[in-house]
A and B are shown apart, each in its own frame.
Chain A
Amino acid sequence: MKSALSWIVVFSWFAVAMLPAQARNDRAATVGMRGVIEQVVLPGSELEPAPSTAKTPVVLRVLQTWPHGEHLRYDLEWSGLEPGQHDLAKYLVRKDGSPLGELPPLVVDVTSVLAKGAAEPSEPDPVACERLGGYSMLQWTVGTAWVLGLLAILFVGRDFRRRRTEAKVEPTLADRLRPLVERIAAGGGDDAAKAELERLLVAFWRARLGLHGHKAGDAIVAIKEHAEAGALLRQLEAWLHMPKPPAAVDVQALLDPYRAVTAASFAPIVPPPEGA
């Protein structure tokens, strides 16, 4: 008895295993989810999915095709984009371009999981179309503005820079020394100021000629013997210390070595103008 029961179980298991597999026939799905319809026989020549557009509510694929007598058997995969009932047959076309003809309906039901009244992405705001035409006018306008700008940079800017530079030109040491030297040459000037000017000239050239390592007496002799440095100092000594100062000399020539030096670079040597 027990042996017979075992045989029945084994036979049943084999019987079930030998049954043909059940074809899938997904006729309903939510938006965006995949559904498969297998082993569907459709008449006529071979079909393929019609080209989809942005408005197509269903995406359809043909997974596999077999001959089925005079017809063809298909495995189809679909995915709904819009909720509602859709006939998949409407989204098929003949591969050979022949008319579709009568096809049995393949209705699927697409449902939405969103609650009713849920906000949906709104349509983008309407955008004004780009300006059409008037390019020549625009080119002339931009070109004229560019030329005017260039001219302004070249002339107005240059003039501005020149005026600014002129306003910033610093007086040279020669400019500052000239009134004092001319006053001394004319026999005027305060003794203390004259002596200070003489010492400052020595200091100025001592620094420029790198004579700081020399003793002060040796430095003075070296400065007086120097072609450039000595001229004004020798003349100043003549004016300041000789019992009969020499006649007028070319002050401008004496001040030549001091034209390349700004007065600010040697501030102590610049006594304020008389009366200032």
Chain B
Amino acid sequence: MTATQPSAVTRFPETRQFLEQIRSRVGKVVVGQDVVVERVLIALLTSGHLLLQGVPGLAKTLLVAAVSKTVDLAFARIQFTIDLLPSDIVGSEILDQKTHEFRTHRGPIFTNLLLADEINRAAPKVQSALLEAMQERRVTIGNQTYPLPAPFLVIATQNPVEQAGTFELPEAQLDRFMLLHRLGYLTKDQEKEVLRRNTLLGVRRDGKGAVARTEFDVLGEQTTGSSDQLVRAMEDVQQVHVSDAFLEHVIEIVNRTRKHPRLELGCSPRAGISLVKASRARALIHGRDFVLPEDLFALAEDVILHRIRLSYEAVADGWTAPKVLQEILGEVAQ
């Protein structure tokens, strides 16, 4: 008998079809960025929040919008600015002039999928309000506490350049994000495809006038999946088998970040939990009902990198966090 190939399994056919539909739909408007789409799906399936880091114009917003419209989720977007207030996000109590009573006005956070654009431009207390809601999945307005809709997922973006006037998220708050994915530029062929598609957009008639169509117009309003399917997919993720040997790998990596001489701050226990959760979702996306070390190593950068901090000496010596992490992963597999 030859060696077994631990790859595709026949379980979860509906979920796999659902996920394929999302990828296909998103792929119609977003060129390339397959890894980013996978990370968004992982976040969606595990209710883990996602921070996307990349320069403007990499279709971060379009990608999130495409996913939300595909799955029929309530979608809201907040552009974070320096003068934003916590009440602008969570809502506030306003006095009703007719009844002379306070009425609760719910903010845009009451949604399924929240896109927090340029989160590092808001003041710390606004960031804190959002991150608290992310963690507890409920907000308090006045004396009342309101649960957030389920599923609730925050996909935040931040620009790695133009740091003037920004408030860098502290490690404790970054830890709330299950994944931090760094977007890169498209390849030449992908960028050519973007340009080619853009030339075919045409114009959209609006009354007597017309406006040039954008990629957002291509999305349309029709959904291909339902929130029920998403819930079923989330349940299926919980069925993905995690072996003890896999947990050993996770513990090994997490522990090494805590003992590494070039790191001042290693991974929190939440990092290990996130690694396992994200690996389960990735395994499901790749058609498996069990996790493999390749899931772990593929996700390690996105899960760990924003949770570690270099020591002063390491920075002075020219080390970077990605370099140290690759060294750790190399040592684990060595």
Q: Do A and B bind each other?
A: yes
Question: Measuring CB to CB, which residues of chain A are less than 8 angstroms from any residue of chain B?
Answer: 191-192, 194-196, 198-199, 202-203, 206, 212, 215-217, 219-221, 224, 231-232, 234-235, 237-238, 240-243, 246-250, 253-254
B249 near A195 (CB under 8 angstroms)? yes
Q: Please indicate the chain A residues that have their CB under 8 angstroms from the CB of B333 in the complex.
A: 199, 202-203, 206, 216, 219-220
B297 near A241 (CB under 8 angstroms)? no
B294 near A221 (CB under 8 angstroms)? yes
Among the interface residues A195, A238, A247, A254, which one has the most CB atoms of the partner chain B within 10 A? A195
A149 to chain B, nearest CB (A): 54
A249 near B1 (CB under 8 angstroms)? yes
B244 at the interface (CB under 8 A from A): yes
A170 to chain B, nearest CB (A): 23
B195 to chain A, nearest CB (A): 29
Binary CB contact string for chain B from 234 to 275 against chain A (1 if under 8 A, 0 otherwise): 000000010111111100100000000000000000000000
Interface residues of B in 96-117 (CB under 8 A from A): none
Cα A237 to Cα B330 in complex, Å, equals 19
B200 at the interface (CB under 8 A from A): no
B246 near A241 (CB under 8 angstroms)? yes
B326 to chain A, nearest CB (A): 6
A198 near B1 (CB under 8 angstroms)? no
Q: Please indicate the chain A residues that have their CB under 8 angstroms from the CB of B301 in the complex.
A: 215
Cα A232 to Cα B5 in complex, Å, equals 10
Interface residues of B in 288-334 (CB under 8 A from A): 289-294, 297-298, 300-301, 326, 329-330, 332-334
Interface residues of B in 8-48 (CB under 8 A from A): none
Among the interface residues A194, A212, A238, which one has the most CB atoms of the partner chain B within 10 A? A238
Q: Please indicate the chain B residues that have their CB under 8 angstroms from the CB of A215 in the complex.
A: 297, 301, 326, 329
Q: Please indicate the chain A residues that have their CB under 8 angstroms from the CB of B144 in the complex.
A: none
Chain B binding surface SS class: helix
Cα A238 to Cα B249 in complex, Å, equals 16
9 shortest A-B CB distances, which residue pairs? A195-B248, A217-B297, A216-B329, A243-B241, A235-B3, A238-B4, A191-B244, A217-B298, A246-B4
Among the interface residues A199, A221, A232, A253, which one has the most CB atoms of the partner chain B within 10 A? A199
Chain A binding surface SS class: helix
Known contacts A194-B245, A195-B252, A241-B246; is A216 also within 8 Å of B332 by CB? yes
Residue of B nearest to A207 (CB): B334
Binary CB contact string for chain B from 214 to 251 against chain A (1 if under 8 A, 0 otherwise): 00000000000000000000000000010111111100
B3 near A234 (CB under 8 angstroms)? yes
Cα A249 to Cα B5 in complex, Å, equals 12
Cα A243 to Cα B241 in complex, Å, equals 6
A238 near B6 (CB under 8 angstroms)? yes
B329 near A243 (CB under 8 angstroms)? no
B6 near A241 (CB under 8 angstroms)? yes
Residue of A nearest to B289 (CB): A243
Residue of B nearest to A216 (CB): B329
Cα A192 to Cα B292 in complex, Å, equals 15
B143 at the interface (CB under 8 A from A): no
B330 near A216 (CB under 8 angstroms)? yes
Can you list 9 pairs linking A and B with CB atoms under 8 Å apart? A194-B248, A195-B248, A215-B301, A220-B294, A232-B3, A237-B6, A241-B6, A241-B292, A242-B290
A192 near B297 (CB under 8 angstroms)? no
